[in-house]
Amino acid sequence: MRPKRVLILMSNTGGGHRASAEALRAGFLACYGDQVQVDVIDLLIEHLPWPLNWLPHTYTFLIKDTAWLWKLLWQTSNHPMTIRRLSMIVARWGERDVTKVFASYAPDLIISVHPLVQEFSLRALRHMRRRIPFVIVVTDLATAHPLWFHPAVDGCYVASKEAYQRARRAGLIPEQLHLFGLPIRPVFAQPTASREELRRKLGLDAQLPAVLIMSGGEGVGPIAQVAEQVNAELATPDGPVGQMVIICGRNQHLQERLQSQRWVTPVQLCGFVENMDEWMAACDCIVTKAGPGTIAEALSSGLPIILSGFIPGQEEGNIPYVLDNRVGVYRETPAAIAQTVSEWFTERSEEFEQMQFAARALGRPQATRQIVESIGELLFY
Ligand code: UDP
């Protein structure tokens, strides 16, 4: 029997959409093996005509260098009706190209993990000879933009009560909605080795507490300043009271800059890593921007979180999500971040231990399996 074909639509804006797409692909293979074939494509960059295919490239520039402009764009488009009318107009340009893509992949089901592909896809699906179910897996945690939510979908998977309410306000009904958590890679659900074993494997000191410092797939924000302050704060006359793992993601410039630096605290410096589950399992806490993917993975790994910043708009709601659930803190300056890491490592306060416990309780490492099984009901029955 021919395997069922699942087509996952994403775009490489940030690291989260690709990570979620890969998590779902791994989840389908784990659940259904060779009964499914999963293709992941960047619909916007690889398949839309100019200038639509150029829009995603502006994202990194906007969030890195003109965050105020990104915030303005996000806020002015944050109204379900206005944004739907606008996206209907834009989607007409890409309709023919998207129809061709769907015809060539001939999927049995389509999953979107990106807010900009819904309108293009649903327009194109009207031209297909057979009905193809279309579902959305929202990869934002709390503050999901109205562009995510299209009332014509067969299912919509959200990761928090906040996102559920936003979907309801955008016109989706409870029968369309599922709340399981963010799809993170299945490896986060099954730790492979103990912390000590992982530390040895990754070249870390087996005993010293470790802080993971990162900021999304692109390595945006003040990672260098945070690392410098933590480096100074963890060094004491009796030796270091902790060690650092710095993950620069795709920010090569940052990695080169940090490589040439002198450190007094033990440090492991990485570019883009594929084994984030191992790095998280080897560490005691994390400093990160309020990226949904990283927060969900950190929770599943039981890591208390120090939020160092956020992308305006879609990540703002993740700050109260972390604070209200008592799984971390928000610190505005590198000096304050470094001080908190040092306090956590030297005092091992009850608050820190409660955060570890609360993180594990809030994390949903099984979310990917639950989402895949639920989508499987549309695919196989
Ligand atoms: N990531 C990774 N390797 C890296 C850096 C990041 O696999 O070196 C992953 C990280 O584990 C997470 C995603 O990239 O799954 C980042 O998503 P998030 O939503 O936190 O931020 P974004 O990059 O989308 O702004």
Tens of each residue's pLDDT in the chain, 381 residues: 789 999 999 988 767 888 999 999 999 999 999 999 999 999 888 888 787 777 776 666 666 667 777 677 777 777 766 667 777 777 777 888 999 999 999 999 999 999 888 988 999 998 888 999 999 999 999 989 888 999 999 999 999 999 999 999 999 999 999 999 999 999 998 877 899 999 999 999 999 999 999 999 889 899 999 999 999 999 999 999 999 999 999 999 999 999 999 999 999 999 999 999 999 999 999 999 999 999 999 999 999 999 999 988 889 999 999 999 999 999 999 999 999 999 999 997 889 999 999 999 999 999 999 999 999 999 997
Pull the structure tokens for residue 316.
């703002």
Residue 213 phi, psi (nearest 5): -115, 120
**266 CA distance to ligand 1 middle (Å):** 24
Closest ligand 1 atom, residue 272 Cα = 8
Q: How far apart are alpha carbons 357 and 350 in whole angstroms? A: 11
What is the reported pLDDT for 140? Answer: 93
What is the reported pLDDT for 53? Answer: 77
What residues form DSSP beta bridges with 9? 41, 112
338 lines ligand 1 (CB under 6 A): no
Q: Whose CA is nearest to atom 20 of ligand 1?
A: 291
Beta strands across the sheet bearing 177-179: 36-42, 4-10, 109-112, 134-137, 155-158, 177-179
What is the reported pLDDT for 335? Answer: 98
What is the reported pLDDT for 83? Answer: 67
16 lines ligand 1 (CB under 6 A): yes
What is the reported pLDDT for 128? Answer: 87
Which of 10, 62, 140, 276 maximizes ligand 1 atoms within 8 Å of its Cβ, making it the mutation to test the pocket?
A: 276
Which of 294, 295, 319, 368 maximizes ligand 1 atoms within 8 Å of its Cβ, making it the mutation to test the pocket?
A: 294
247 lines ligand 1 (CB under 6 A): yes
What is the reported pLDDT for 349? Answer: 84
Q: How far apart are alpha carbons 63 and 71 in whole angstroms? A: 9
Taking CB atoms within 8 Å and a gap of at least 24, the contacts of 336-340 are 337/226, 337/229, 337/230, 337/287, 337/306, 337/308, 338/226, 338/229, 338/230, 338/232, 338/233, 338/234, 339/233, 340/306
**354 CA distance to ligand 1 middle (Å):** 26
**236 CA distance to ligand 1 middle (Å):** 32
Contacts of 157 (CB under 8 A, 6+ apart): 135, 136, 137, 138, 178, 179, 180, 183, 371, 374, 375
What residues form DSSP beta bridges with 364? none
Beta-strand pair 4-10/36-42: parallel
**100 CA distance to ligand 1 middle (Å):** 31
Nearest in space to 342 (alpha carbons), one of 243, 233, 237: 233
216 lines ligand 1 (CB under 6 A): yes
